[in-house]
Structure 1
Amino acid sequence: MRLIQVLIPEGTRETVLEALDEEGIDYAVFDEVGRGDFEAMVQFPVPPSGVETVMDRLTDAGVREDAYTVVLPTETVVSQRLSALVERFPGLRISREELYARAQDLAPANSTFFAFILLSTIIATTGLLLDSAATIIGAMVVAPLMGPAISASVGTILDDVNMTRRGVLLQVTGLLAAILTGAVMGWLLQQTILIPPELDIRTIPQVAERTSPNFLSLFLALGSGIAGSLSIMRGSGSTLVGVAIAVALIPPAATSGLGIAFGLWGVALAAAVLVLVNLLAINLSALLLFWVAGFKPLEAGKFEGVRASVFSRVVVIAIGIAVLSIALGAVTWTTFQTQSLERQVQVDMEQRFAEADIEGVELVSVTVDYEPADMLVGEQPQVNVLVGIPRDLDAPPDLAQRWDDELTETLGRDVVVRVGFVEAQVSESEPRDPPLGWPNLAGGDRAHVHPTAA
């Protein structure tokens, strides 16, 4: 519920109160003696979704758009007419005046914004190198990216050019600052003993997750933008939703910076593409949701111009996402193909060993070294098979080539097969005392695997 206080200009008291009566609103009127161009102040309660409608009606009744108006949230209102108002305005959408005020509050001062950007990127970079999801999530609580994303969309919908320009500028410069911070931090850490000198950041799962963007990343960004817009429109959970928006932007920006620091330009470019796609998707979803919700410019008569502006921005952002989605589609398709290949090889090898059923011979593991990047550049999949055999059984010398030929025929593509053999001992089902001189490990015998040759 909202409590509205409005100053009534001279000569419009009767028409304003008549408009409130026609709307079925209980009100209280106080004489105004502090300013000569106003004769009274009226105060009345109205549901959140009815604020915009009632204020438009008062504007038609003579209340100027620049008049002194206060909209306050209230916990409890007792009024005979309130139930009828609630039924008439059942929604939870706030007014455009409240939306504008909240968007202004969400975009902090420049110094505060960039301070939090730097701090969140430092924490996120640390979390990436530590492979700590909890640390990365903690960094997202600090990141202030929700405000500029929302204010850019609100400024577009309400035809506030300055708000739109500042929101876009903060997003772009903030993410560039995050990438630069990640690069500088990565370079500095390489000069210390805090990370191994030969560290390959591509092997860190949290980093690898941001260097293989697919269409699922796009859904994360779209959902974050919609959630952010809803939280502002309905005044709930904006802080937590801001974490979701930051997750889509800061970690990949920090990953791009690390790629630059370690000289891995493929990592830097892939993460930068993810940042840009997520940024566009967040802004697109927020802009569309505010438009669908029916928000209009603060000044009357600008609706047609805003509609054209929103349409052009949506088209430009959609084209940008479509172009970048080519990269997302390539990664999605190659990831599916490589994982399908690995699974097919594993099933094929397991079936071969099951059919052979050679006593004492077991399939220890089957792995496939084949990344999406390898597929794009035409590299052959490398199949690594580890076989356990008894000491008294000789391994066939041409086994790798035989499996290579068979898998090539089955898969319809060339592969490279490497076979490794280990001496395998399998424990008996019944426990027995260990031989003299052998330690009693964990109270009984265990299987021992000794590597021989690969």
Structure 2
Amino acid sequence: MRLVQLTIPTGQREAIFDVLDGREVDYVVTDETKSREYTAVVYFPLPDAAVEPVLDELQDAGIDDDAYTVVVDAETVVSRRFQALREEYEENDVGSDRISRQELQAEADDLTPTFPVYVVMTVISAIVATAGLLLDSPAVVVGSMVIAPLIGPALGASVGTVIDDEDLFVESVAYQIIGVIVAIAAAALFALLVRSLNIVPPDLVLSSVGEISERLAPDLLSLAIALGAGVAGVVSIATGTSVALVGVMIAAALIPPAGVAGIALAWGQPTSAIGATVLVLVNLLSVNLAGLLTLWYAGYRPENLFSLGETEQRLRQRIVGLVVIVLVFTVFLSGITYASYEAGNFEQDAREDVETVLSQDRYEDYQLLEFQLVMDDDYPFRNPERVVVTIGGPPGQSAPDLADILHDRINRHADGSVTVEVRYVEVVERDAG
């Protein structure tokens, strides 16, 4: 619920009272004696869903922005008329639980820090994320998300579009572009410094670090994370609930991939940075797309209804543009997902063939101890490069033709040539006692 404080301009007292009485809103008036421009201040409580229509009606009655309005949280209101007002406006859905358009705009402005603070915090979060990625520490990576100032610009562009605030839209888009560039550049410079000082091994294989490898070759699940973060972010800001945890979710979709892209560049592997960079871009666009759709569904419209048609047209254009770009990136992610699927099928088929060969009577003394598939480093579309088969057998014995047989059987499932390495381990069995 909200408590609204509205200054009453000279000559507008009756117009304001008529609106409030017509809505059956309780109010209190205090006279203003120090100003000739304003004659009084009126205080009245409103349910969240009633703030926007009441303020709009007051504006239609001639109360413009010169009569400043303050909307604050109210913990408790004890009033039968207020309870009736709440039942009239609240319908137990997102549209009725949302804050007013005026509050939404103020919230979006507040979530975006000043430009110097935004850049500094983005650099710090990127550096912390890079350190966590190189240490393969999920806890440190999560910490970098907490300090990332990305939720304001990520949601501000959507808010600016639906309420027809082009200044907010342009500023938010600029912040997002600059944020991505700054994050990747800061991560690359920090990773280059760490590598040159031998804080981490200069010959570190990026694919061997779990926190890094999973973002070098992202799949379609990453898109679901970004869309979910965008919807959750807009719902949290639109309903006036805490956005801190949702901000972490949005940062999770952007900061770690930006850190991985910077690390790949510092390691002199620009092709390896492609997957992470695409992940950053598709996540950023998906957050904006989800925000636009959710805000429009929640019922937000521009203040001036005469601009509604123009705003709807602009909204459709931006949604179509975002959908097209996201679909292009989705095709890219689908290719990575399909390559991973094919590698999984190859591994399963190859393992089954090895087990089938070893099940023959001539190899009854041998058993499969370990099957390992080694992928190449051609990110983001990785392919099987080598298969390592570890076989246990009697001491001093080996099956010379087994390696050739396994090579032929395994390569039947591969699109290209796959190296097959067979290792023999002596297995000695002793009876108990």
Partners of 1:409 and 1:223 in 2: CA distance: 41
Please list, as runs of the form range in 1=range in 2, the aligned pairs for 1:286-435 lying within 5 A after superposition.
286-354=291-359, 356=361, 360-370=365-375, 373=378, 381-392=385-396, 394-409=397-412, 415-426=418-429, 428-430=431-433
Amino acid aligned to 1:38: Y
SS at 2:193 equivalent: helix
Q: 1:252 aligns with which of 236, 254, 257?
A: 257
Structure with higher Rg: it is 1
Per-residue deviation at 1:151?
1.3
Per-residue deviation at 1:261?
0.7
Q: Retained in 2: the 8 A contact 1:29–1:41?
A: yes
The 1:410–1:194 alpha-carbon spacing in structure 2 relative to 1, beyond 3 Å, is closer
Q: 2:201 aligns with which of 184, 196, 207?
A: 196
Q: Retained in 2: the 8 A contact 1:365–1:387?
A: yes
Per-residue deviation at 1:177?
0.7
The corresponding residue for 2:128 is: 123
The corresponding residue for 2:225 is: 220
The 1:285–1:429 alpha-carbon spacing in structure 2 relative to 1, beyond 3 Å, is farther
Per-residue deviation at 1:38?
2.8
Per-residue deviation at 1:332?
0.7
The corresponding residue for 2:187 is: 182
Per-residue deviation at 1:68?
1.2
Per-residue deviation at 1:16?
1.9
Structure ranking higher on relative contact order (CA contacts 8 Å, 6+ apart): 2
Partners of 2:381 and 2:272 in 1: CA distance: 15
The corresponding residue for 1:51 is: 51
Q: Retained in 2: the 8 A contact 1:224–1:244?
A: yes
Supply the RMSD in Å over aligned alpha carbons: 2.1
Q: Retained in 1: the 8 A contact 2:411–2:417?
A: yes
Partners of 1:376 and 1:271 in 2: CA distance: 12
The corresponding residue for 1:37 is: 37
Please list, as runs of the form range in 1=range in 2, the aligned pairs for 1:228-247 lying within 5 A after superposition.
228-247=233-252
SS at 2:306 equivalent: coil
Partners of 1:427 and 1:197 in 2: CA distance: 46
TM-score (norm 2): 0.93
Amino acid aligned to 1:325: T
Partners of 1:261 and 1:411 in 2: CA distance: 33
SS at 1:253 equivalent: helix
The corresponding residue for 1:451 is: none
**Identity of aligned pairs, percent?**
38
Q: 2:151 aligns with which of 146, 151, 158?
A: 146
The corresponding residue for 1:79 is: 79
Q: Retained in 1: the 8 A contact 2:216–2:380?
A: no
Per-residue deviation at 1:301?
2.2
Q: Retained in 2: the 8 A contact 1:52–1:95?
A: yes
Q: 1:103 aligns with which of 80, 104, 108?
A: 108
Partners of 1:356 and 1:39 in 2: CA distance: 103
Partners of 1:65 and 1:304 in 2: CA distance: 23
List runs of 5+ in structure 1 lacking aligned partners. Answer: 431-454
Per-residue deviation at 1:237?
2.7
Partners of 2:415 and 2:220 in 1: CA distance: 28
Q: Deviations over 1:28-55 (max 9, x none)?
A: 1222333323333221111011100111
Please list, as runs of the form range in 1=range in 2, the aligned pairs for 1:8-47 lying within 5 A after superposition.
8-47=8-47
Partners of 1:375 and 1:147 in 2: CA distance: 31
Please list, as runs of the form range in 1=range in 2, the aligned pairs for 1:431-446 lying within 5 A after superposition.
none
Per-residue deviation at 1:403?
1.9
The corresponding residue for 2:93 is: none
Q: How many residues align?
A: 428
The corresponding residue for 2:138 is: 133
Q: Retained in 1: the 8 A contact 2:275–2:380?
A: no
Per-residue deviation at 1:191?
1.5
Q: Retained in 1: the 8 A contact 2:3–2:73?
A: yes
Amino acid aligned to 2:42: V
The 1:208–1:140 alpha-carbon spacing in structure 2 relative to 1, beyond 3 Å, is same
Q: Retained in 2: the 8 A contact 1:335–1:372?
A: no
The 1:268–1:407 alpha-carbon spacing in structure 2 relative to 1, beyond 3 Å, is closer
The 1:77–1:375 alpha-carbon spacing in structure 2 relative to 1, beyond 3 Å, is closer
* Greater mean alpha carbon deviation, residues 306-315 or residues 34-43: 34-43
Q: Retained in 2: the 8 A contact 1:259–1:265?
A: yes
SS at 1:302 equivalent: helix
Per-residue deviation at 1:355?
5.0
Q: Retained in 2: the 8 A contact 1:334–1:375?
A: no
The corresponding residue for 2:268 is: 263
Per-residue deviation at 1:298?
3.1
Partners of 1:356 and 1:264 in 2: CA distance: 48
Partners of 1:314 and 1:66 in 2: CA distance: 35
Q: Retained in 1: the 8 A contact 2:274–2:380?
A: no
Amino acid aligned to 2:393: I
SS at 1:3 equivalent: strand
SS at 2:77 equivalent: coil
Q: Retained in 2: the 8 A contact 1:212–1:270?
A: yes
Partners of 1:76 and 1:428 in 2: CA distance: 79
Q: Deviations over 1:403-454 (max 9, x none)?
A: 2233345678754422111112245444xxxxxxxxxxxxxxxxxxxxxxxx
